[in-house]
Amino acid sequence: MGDDPCVAWKTQARKTKSSLSFVLIKALGLCRNRAPISTSNFLTMHFLQTLTASLLLTGSSLCAGATGTGHKGSHEAIAPKVFIVSMFAPEAEAWWNIPEFDLLAHNITIPGLSPLFPDVHCTEDYEVCQLITGEGEINAAATVTSVAFSPLFDLTQTYFFVAGIAGINPKKASTGSATFARYAVQVALQYEIDIRELPSNYSTGYVAQGTNFPGQYPTSIYGTEVFEVNAELRTIAANFARKANLSDSTIAQAYRARYKTPSGKYKAATLPPSVIECDVATTDVYFSGNILGSVFENTTKVLTNGTGEYCASAQEDNATFEVLLRSSIYKLTDFSRIIVMRTASDFDRPYPGASATYNLFQSSEQGAFEPAIKNLYVAGIKVVEGILDGWDETFAAGIEASNYIGDIFGSLGGVPDFGPGRKQALIGGGAYKRNV
């Protein structure tokens, strides 16, 4: 096949002083060892080598859609210190027109982003950027993939700050609160039977995949069921947020009082907004009610070997984390630099005496949407400023995690402290035969 294309490509990249070739090599997992190169990889690399040269000659046409003052330069990747991940317009707009910085100084159109939110927004110095995924797991995965694997960015030292609203478990916290998660659990990735057709000994229609009774650990594993992020970083971020004076409303205060009971079961729901370290459940299903709330509490416990504490319900986080895990495998991102903050906009189950449908369809009566949106900024700005102010001394080098970080497969190395173990999980996912 002639000269080694890896050597030729790297030589060309050095001559042009561009990191684009290297990003493409890393993104595709090529040139990772000295083993013979397959015909398909050889042809792929030569195609991308030609593509790279064309992009350089045209002044990096990937930036052609940029608005505002645009991209830093055709050969210099954007390397934000913090990347805020919003899910829909109200969450994003909470960060606009604030006194600390102007996120709309640069608006960069990236191929593959949501048709509703086609731009990444960055501050004048590019230290802070923001993307808007669109709601739900599919939108989140598509958008974050487009950014994580884009040659326009160098995200190797970037802190990804997921900042969105969520439902809240009244056993754990009140509306308006800011939650910081260690675990993200994909609670609805299960079998489901309509509750009207359940056997008499089933307490729920959700049954873990590969099992035949509720409450058991799944034996059919996809790999996205659980993610664990850096617990030290989580606590640092939560402590930054605790410096904030969280927003509240008189309507929310009055509504929370309805959760007062003689047993004190929902005492946390009656308290003012606070910063809580507890975990997030991901599901595309916008659920409501005591039964589903209890089921997903238990699912979180089962999938984290009893250590997870479900408090916030969201629709995107596991999808976002799967992309960041895959990009971290190829050193494009750093999975140890993820923070997920969810502020509570409504309760996931009704107060005693109310119905699940009332809780769902009359959620505006809870008076917590506006405070939750506002607290994304109020609490979140403390996190962003803490990282920026401590960059040289602390955050540039990263926060070392003492806990396991990653997925149920152990894809980033280390031993998962949840699940059946790496080998058994891979067997459940079909990567190993059971007789291996």
Q: The domain that contains 316 carries what CATH number?
A: 3.40.50
Last residue of a domain, one of 13, 43, 58: 58
Residues 184, 40 share a domain: no
Q: Are residues 54 and 173 in the same domain?
A: no
- Return the structure tokens found at 286: 């916008």
Place of tokens 């059919």: 220
> Within a domain: residue 142?
no
Between CA 366 and CA 364 the distance in angstroms is 5
Q: Which of 18, 42, 58 is the last residue of a domain?
A: 58
Q: Which of 175, 96, 163 is nearest to 338 (CA)?
A: 163
- Residue 371 identity: P
Residue 116 main-chain phi, psi, to 5 deg? -80, -30
403 located within any domain: yes
Shared-domain flag, residues 46 and 171: no
Q: Are residues 166 and 54 in the same domain?
A: no
Residue 63 forms part of a structural domain? no
- The pTM score is 0.84
Instruction: Point out which residues pair with 83 in neighbouring strands.
Output: 129, 160
Do 269 and 410 belong together in one domain? Answer: yes
193 and 45 fall within a common domain: no
| C-alpha to C-alpha distance for 268 and 416, rounded to whole angstroms | 31
Q: Is residue 146 a part of any domain in this protein?
A: no
Q: Tell me whether residue 99 is in a domain.
A: no
87 within some domain: no
* Cα angle 3, 8, 13; round to 5: 175
Residue 224 carries which side chain, given as an amino acid letter? Answer: T
Rounded CA gap, 76 and 78, in Å? 7
Dmax over CA atoms of the chain, in Å, equals 80
Residues 40 and 164 both lie in one domain: no
Instruction: Give the residues across from 406 on adjacent strands.
Output: 228
**pLDDT tens for each residue of the chain, 436 residues long:** 444 444 444 444 444 434 444 444 444 444 444 344 443 444 444 444 444 443 433 333 344 344 444 556 556 899 999 999 999 999 999 999 999 999 999 999 999 999 999 999 999 999 999 999 999 999 999 999 999 999 999 999 999 999 999 999 999 999 999 999 999 999 999 999 999 999 999 999 999 999 999 999 999 999 999 999 999 999 999 999 999 999 999 999 999 999 999 999 999 999 999 999 999 999 999 999 999 999 999 999 999 999 999 999 999 999 999 999 999 999 999 999 999 999 999 999 999 999 999 999 999 999 999 999 999 999 999 999 999 999 999 999 999 999 999 999 999 999 999 888 788 888 888 877 654 4
Distance CA 122, CA 71 (A): 10
Q: Does residue 213 form part of some domain? A: yes
DSSP secondary structure of 26-54: HHHT-S-SSSPPPHHHHHHHHHHHHHHHH
- Which residue range forms the structural domain that includes residue 181? 159-424
Q: Domain total for the chain?
A: 2
| Residue 164 maps to a domain | yes
Q: How many angstroms separate the Cα of 159 from the Cα of each of 81, 303, 370?
A: 6, 26, 26
Closest CA to 71 of 5, 153, 139, 12: 153
Report strand pairing: 191-192 vs 226-228. Answer: unpaired
Bridge partners for 191 per DSSP: 207
Looking at the fold, whether 47 and 177 belong to one and the same domain comes out as no
Which amino acid appears at position 94 of this protein?
Answer: A
Regarding whether 187 and 52 lie in a shared domain, the answer is no
